[in-house]
Amino acid sequence: MKTKIFFLFLFFPFLSSFIFAQDHPLKGKVVDEQDNEPLIGVNLIIEQLKIGSSTNANGEFEFKNIPKGVYSLKVSFIGHKTIVRTVSVPIKDDLIIALKEGSIDLQEVVVTGNPLFSDLKNISQSTLTITNLELQIKRSSNVAQMLNYQPGISMRSNGIAAARPVIRGFSNNRILILENGLRMGDLSNTSDDHGVSSDGSAPEKIEILRGPASLLYGSNAIGGVINIITEAIPNYIPNGIDGDINFSGSSANKDLSGGGDLHFGINSFAFHSNYFNRSNKDYRDGNGNIVSNSDQLSQGFQFGMSFIPSFGLAGFSYSNFNNNYGIPINPKDKEAEPIAINMKKNEFRFLVESSDLSGKSELNSFIKSFNLKAGYQDYAQKEIVRRTGESGTLFGLKSFSVDLSFKHETIGNVFQGVFGFWGLEQKYTAEGLEALTPNADYFSFAAYFFEQAKFSNFNFQFGARFEKNQVKIPASIISGKSFPAEDKNYSTFSGSVGLVYNFTEEVSLFSNIANAFRSPTIEELSSYAIHEATVSFDIGNRSLQKENNLGFDLGLRIHRPNHLVEVSAYYNSINNFIYAKPTSLFYDPNTAGNPFNDSTGLKVLQYSQNDAALYGFEAKAQYEFNRSLLTTVVFDYVRGQLKSGNENLPRIPPMRFSIEQRFTTDEYWLGVVLKLVSDQNKTSQKEGPTKGYGLVDLYTGTKFFTGEFIHMLNLRIDNLFDQSYKEHLSAIKDFAFMPGRNIQINYKFLF
């Protein structure tokens, strides 16, 4: 571990060798385009220098001691369109910047899936970005709830606390959830009863890449990537002290939460810290019934700092996350013991990156810039019997990951690109009478590159990744049966080719072909025990091969100032698809002798492989009738089948449609959302169908000022008519309905 830390800090002396003088002010005023009124609390960042500021009570801002040069000034404000203004320092007169109200933002750049900071219209895969007002309206207790009903994104749940996003029918260990570009380091991808180790109030921005994404992120990104972007390591220097304090409450589960963020900048240093605390009781469903053992208590904090001179950034962060929640139980099962999950995670993250090095006389080279990020997570989870307080199964996961990438100079005035190296080391432990698997050690190493070339109206993207994965399984005894030690090795190659054709500046056609992969997990290889989350006895298969997914995307984008449309169709052909196949056996631990029989007990699932296909289409359209009125329509459909026999895959989302009408002004917003979900009758063996349903949600909010302080108040009513319904992806749909009417109030104070 000492060697790893030493390696990370090698770059700090290197960075400290460049300093140049700063001696010009950059001042101005930000106003509303419609009425020319000053805007208070607008965020401004000089992107090249990573310096931030905000407007005062008169809408004025000032950056002091800026070097002579040409800069990109990014200006953003909730409820207004973000703009990027090119400015030359020194300036002759103070700047006057006018912002237009609206929700359709054409200036957003996407990093996930494209490390060249491309804007949306130049990316060859289906992407989504959730920012600003959208996050404020949809803010919830977890990321899965916030993203549910986005095109192609559903929610797998086991109550409220244990929820995880599903992308185009892919779930669990087939999609990656990242935080600031690195893996979360938890066990939420292994089982329905394991929650994501991130609170829904934390994100500053969320980027989603739908479709195969193994190229940049490796195994387990076979279905897509969700990147939660936070300010854990500050990426700009605030002008003094700023932050926010927030409180919220919900009725359906009596949720109470609070927290705050603090930013501070001095000279070339930036600091950030936050804290949150959340508690809720058992939730009430649409029939008025209380779903037993669905409560939650979570809290956490984070501290980070950065050194940000003109030539780059070097920083670190520490975070602590604790989550205690119940797993809902069937009230008809009199023998069921209420189980609580006690989850803890401590995390260290490091980041070192440079600005443009190619122009420095000392470093005039092929390398334009570099980025080094690394993280260490120590995750532990206990399953506790609430009646006795005894600990059942204990899970542990210690992870160290590192990613080092380099941007190179443009080749032939055409090719821009990135190449890099990635490594992951994980130590997984499972102890207790109900441990599903033996312990395991994971080792992964990869090398990759990504290139982009522009030819007139064409934007061509391609890349490749080679990765080696190893799973070391020790000798063990599980459920009374002995298993030998074994090492499993998987060498994988992934590649992608994408094309964007711009008919005009506003209309483009995009397509992408990607080969992605996934190595089997320890649960799939070596399970041999009762799995409480699925109420089954799971049997692993050590002869499993890696999954390979060849994915095709074809879509159309229209990005205009007052409307946005993205329609895409996709097809995923998966060789060696791994799934838990029901057998004809049952498992009864109370039976003397052989516990396996053909009639009573828990169903027995055996991990198997077969070729499969997932395909479908999705659409999102937004239209601003005027500066205040916005309509959003979302539609998605996915189908999943085994290729042999056309057997349906389990837990595939049903067809969905939603329409949202929003009215916004500079001071307030209100909206109504209608969600329609069809029946799901295309189910796998021994999986029950679910009925369709319709939901209506309402929300309203206001933003007002007292001096230089900003207050934001948001009221949201989910499931307005208190419908009783079941989500097809719910792990508890056999005995519990989803939450009924929920009234949520959020208050945020910004200073």
3-state secondary structure 113-176: CCCCCEEHHHCCCEEEEEEHHHHHHHCCCCHHHHHCCCCCEEEEEECCCEEEEEECCECHHHEE
Q: What mean pLDDT do residues 366-393 have?
A: 90
What torsion, rounded to 10 degrees, do the Cα atoms 118, 123, 129, 133 define?
60
Residue type, 635: F
Q: Which range, of 40-54, 288-302, 643-657, averages the lowest pLDDT? A: 40-54
Q: What is the pLDDT of residues 79-105, one digit of tens each?
A: 788 888 889 898 888 899 998 877 676
Separation between Cα atoms, residue 452 and residue 197, nearest integer Å = 34
Residue pair 350/8 in contact (Cβ under 8 Å)? The answer is yes
Mean pLDDT for the chain?
Answer: 88
Q: Is 6 helix (H, G, I), strand (E, B) or coil?
A: helix
**Residue 143 scores a pLDDT above 70:** yes
Q: What mean pLDDT do residues 443-456 have?
A: 93
pLDDT of res. 6: 40
**Residue 661 scores a pLDDT above 70:** yes
Q: Which range, of 2-11, 433-442, 485-494, 509-518, averages the lowest pLDDT? A: 2-11
pLDDT of res. 360: 52
Separation between Cα atoms, residue 357 and residue 565, nearest integer Å = 38
pLDDT of res. 357: 62
- DSSP count for the chain of H helices, then E strands: 6, 43
Q: Is 187 helix (H, G, I), strand (E, B) or coil?
A: coil
Separation between Cα atoms, residue 648 and residue 651, nearest integer Å = 9
Separation between Cα atoms, residue 402 and residue 339, nearest integer Å = 35
Residue pair 609/580 in contact (Cβ under 8 Å)? The answer is no
Which of 172, 228, 169, 235 is CA-nearest to residue 204? Answer: 228
Q: For residue 15, give Cα distances in angstroms to 22, 311, 469, 480.
A: 18, 7, 33, 57
What is the token pair recorded at 634?
């979302």
Element (DSSP H or E) covering residue 175: strand 175-179
- How confident is residue 324, by pLDDT bands cut at 50, 70 and 90? very high
Element (DSSP H or E) covering residue 256: strand 255-266
Q: How many alpha carbons fall within 13 Å on the CB side of residue 451?
A: 13
What torsion, rounded to 10 degrees, do the Cα atoms 203, 206, 212, 216 define?
-70
Residue pair 46/63 in contact (Cβ under 8 Å)? The answer is yes
Residues with Cβ within 8 Å of 145's Cβ and at least 6 positions away in sequence, in order, are 138, 155, 160, 163, 200
Residue type, 319: S
The whole-model pTM stands at 0.89
Q: For residue 92, give Cα distances in angstroms to 13, 27, 45.
A: 38, 10, 20
Residue pair 106/559 in contact (Cβ under 8 Å)? The answer is yes
**Residue 417 scores a pLDDT above 50:** yes
What is the token pair recorded at 488?
């499993």
Residue pair 684/649 in contact (Cβ under 8 Å)? The answer is yes
Q: What mean pLDDT do residues 655-660 have?
A: 97
Q: What mean pLDDT do residues 325-341 have?
A: 86
Q: What mean pLDDT do residues 308-312 have?
A: 86
pLDDT of res. 2: 46
Q: What are the beta bridge partners of residue 256?
A: 249, 279
pLDDT of res. 364: 59
Q: What mean pLDDT do residues 417-437 have?
A: 90
pLDDT of res. 107: 60
Q: Which of the two residues, 728 and 67, has the higher pLDDT score?
A: 728
Residues with Cβ within 8 Å of 622's Cβ and at least 6 positions away in sequence, in order, are 103, 104, 563, 564, 565, 630, 631, 632, 633
Exposed, middle or buried: residue 176 (CB in 10 Å: 0-12, 13-18, 19+)?
buried
Q: What mean pLDDT do residues 609-621 have?
A: 96
Separation between Cα atoms, residue 659 and residue 738, nearest integer Å = 21
Q: What is the pLDDT of residues 261-304, one digit of tens each?
A: 999 999 889 999 999 999 999 999 999 999 999 999 999 999 99
**Residue 218 scores a pLDDT above 80:** yes
- Domains with residue ranges and CATH for the chain: 1-101 (2.60.40.1120), 225-234+243-253+261-284+296-750 (2.40.170.20)
pLDDT of res. 141: 82
Separation between Cα atoms, residue 466 and residue 477, nearest integer Å = 35
Q: What percent of the chain lies above the pLDDT cut of 90?
A: 55
pLDDT of res. 108: 63
Q: What percent of the chain lies above the pLDDT cut of 70?
A: 94
Exposed, middle or buried: residue 397 (CB in 10 Å: 0-12, 13-18, 19+)?
buried
Distance from the Cα of residue 8 to its chain's centroid: 25
Residue pair 83/44 in contact (Cβ under 8 Å)? The answer is no
What torsion, rounded to 10 degrees, do the Cα atoms 178, 184, 190, 192 define?
-80
Residue pair 379/398 in contact (Cβ under 8 Å)? The answer is yes
What is the DSSP code (8-state) at residue 641?
E
